[in-house]
């Protein structure tokens, strides 16, 4: 679903050159995450991995996905990086006794105590799709396996949503349902549909979006509830004593409004007959984010969270929220042709370039305090590259198919 006019940023070759240059620099920086023990590590400011930290499943999956995108962009040396990630996911991260994937491994040894999480399994599915699109030797094996695990254990057909987590043997289901895991599963399901050719994956993505956005977010005036009980009733006071939790913060998360704004347009473009509410809600969520999240405390940037009346709860600025804002503005501008989004796209990139981007390396500071000085209370170091790649790559791609299939089919 695109507009008839070429988005202005695509008509400016120097801007696309800058995006591509930053992408290449970021991939070089990511090379430091490769661990001889298997998988990818948590990157520090100097580009080395913190060898004292656990090896997280979701970080290995995200870096495998990014390496696949880089390989599809023709960057030498990234194919073996994809293989390194896939081998870890089919090897040391895979629970050979109970199936599924361990959420974390010790720095040098076996699995750490934890649960089988929908959040991290979403990224296994995404990594499998991307590795398959990149034509890597074991990509299809990972993709088929990830689909089977998700459908057998996580997908709740009756609810049209994903369950949250289990014990190692897929017993002891958690009495919690989360918007965050289902949001990332929307992305993974769209990629799975593109790679498999099975439109049922698009229907699953629409089902999750419908309940969370057309339902819960709309009912709460676009302040999306993040936490639910097993019947999908919102739990507004969840984590009130841990308000800046990195995965389950209290209140409503501004960056997720922006991420959903983007994802709804991907869902729209993937369906033969998309419902009108997808476009309406995408626009509403973006406008909501810039109204209640941007510069609301006298400092530029998106605050982390608000309560359900719009009062700021946590005022730190997360890099990933800005990245998703850039990608959402680009996609909204492309599908609507409204110059408002071109203005926001430029405004957000200006803010990023001044305060977040380290241009020589292509890395981003991950977290700023309200006064825009660097802070590391939630995400110290430079552990992730996934959201930055969204900001660099998605503005150059159509709304559908997903990034890896689009690159594989020559849509850039």
Residues with a catalytic annotation lie at 256, 387
Q: Which single residue is written with the structure tokens 């050159």?
A: 17
CA distance 295 to 283: 19
Closest by alpha carbon to 163, among 145, 147, 182?
A: 182
Q: In 3D, which of 149, 105, 132 has the Cα closest to residue 194?
A: 132
Q: Of 216, 197, 184, whose CA–CA distance to 281 is shortest?
A: 216
CA distance 359 to 119: 30
The neighbouring-strand residues paired with 307 are: none
Q: Are 43 and 30 in contact (CB under 8 A)?
A: yes
74 contacts: CB under 8 Å, gap ≥ 6: none
Other Cβ atoms less than 10 A from the Cβ of 112: the count is 14
CA distances from 357 to 10, 257, 297, 312, 395 (A): 21, 22, 22, 25, 17
Instruction: Give the distance from CA 297 to its chain's centroid.
Output: 26
DSSP 3-state of 77: coil
Please tell me the distance from the alpha carbon of residue 68 to that of residue 131, in angstroms, as a whole number.
Answer: 6
- Per-residue DSSP letters for 106-139? -SSSSBPS--EEHHHHHHHHHHHHHHHHTT-TTH
Radius of gyration of the chain measured on its C-alpha atoms:
20
Q: Which two tokens stand for residue 142?
A: 């990972």
Q: For residue 219, what are the contacts with CB-CB under 8 A and spacing of at least 6?
A: none
Q: Which of 227, 231, 187, 239 is nearest to 209 (CA)?
A: 187
Q: E strands, 129-275, where?
A: 155-156, 161-162, 165-166, 177-178, 227-228, 252-253
- For residues 272, 184, 210, 248, the Cα torsion angle rounded to the nearest 10 degrees is -170
Structure tokens at 89: 């996911």
Residue 304, SS3? coil
């Amino acid at each position: 679903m695109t507009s008839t006019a070429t988005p202005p940023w695509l008509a400016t070759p120097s801007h696309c050159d800058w995006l591509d240059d930053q992408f290449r620099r970021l991939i070089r920086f990511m090379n430091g995450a490769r661990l001889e023990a298997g998988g990818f590590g948590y990157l520090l400011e100097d580009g080395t991995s913190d060898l004292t930290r656990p090896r997280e499943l979701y970080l290995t999956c995200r870096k495998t996905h990014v390496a696949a995108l880089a390989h599809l962009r023709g960057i030498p040396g990234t194919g073996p990086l994809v293989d390194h990630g896939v081998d870890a996911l089919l090897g040391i991260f895979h629970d050979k006794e109970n199936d599924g994937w361990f959420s974390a491994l010790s720095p040098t040894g076996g699995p750490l105590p934890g649960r089988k999480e929908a959040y991290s399994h979403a990224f296994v599915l995404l990594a499998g799709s991307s590795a398959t699109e990149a034509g890597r030797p074991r990509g299809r094996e990972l993709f088929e396996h990830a689909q089977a695990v998700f459908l057998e254990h996580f997908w709740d057909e009756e609810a049209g949503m994903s369950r949250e987590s289990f014990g190692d043997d897929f017993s002891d289901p958690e009495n919690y349902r989360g918007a965050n895991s289902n949001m990332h599963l929307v992305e993974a399901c769209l990629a799975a549909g593109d790679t498999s050719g099975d439109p049922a994956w698009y229907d699953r993505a629409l089902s999750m979006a419908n309940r969370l956005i057309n339902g819960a977010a709309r009912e709460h005036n676009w302040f999306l509830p993040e936490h639910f009980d097993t019947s999908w009733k919102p739990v507004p006071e969840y984590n009130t004593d841990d308000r800046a939790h990195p995965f389950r913060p209290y209140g409503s998360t501004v960056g997720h409004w922006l991420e959903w704004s983007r994802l709804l347009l991907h869902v729209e473009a993937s369906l033969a007959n998309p419902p009108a509410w997808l476009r309406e809600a995408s626009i509403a969520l973006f406008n909501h984010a810039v109204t209640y999240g941007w510069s609301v405390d006298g400092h530029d940037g998106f605050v982390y969270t608000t309560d359900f009346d719009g009062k700021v709860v946590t005022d730190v600025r997360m890099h990933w929220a800005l990245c998703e804002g850039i990608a959402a503005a680009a996609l909204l501008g492309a599908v609507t042709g409204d110059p408002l989004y071109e203005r926001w796209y430029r405004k957000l990139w200006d803010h990023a370039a001044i305060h977040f981007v380290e241009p020589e390396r292509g890395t981003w500071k991950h977290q700023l305090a309200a006064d825009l000085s660097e802070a590391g209370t939630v995400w110290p170091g430079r552990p992730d590259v996934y959201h930055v790649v969204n900001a660099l790559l998605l503005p150059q791609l159509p709304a559908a198919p997903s990034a890896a299939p689009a690159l594989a089919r020559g849509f850039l």
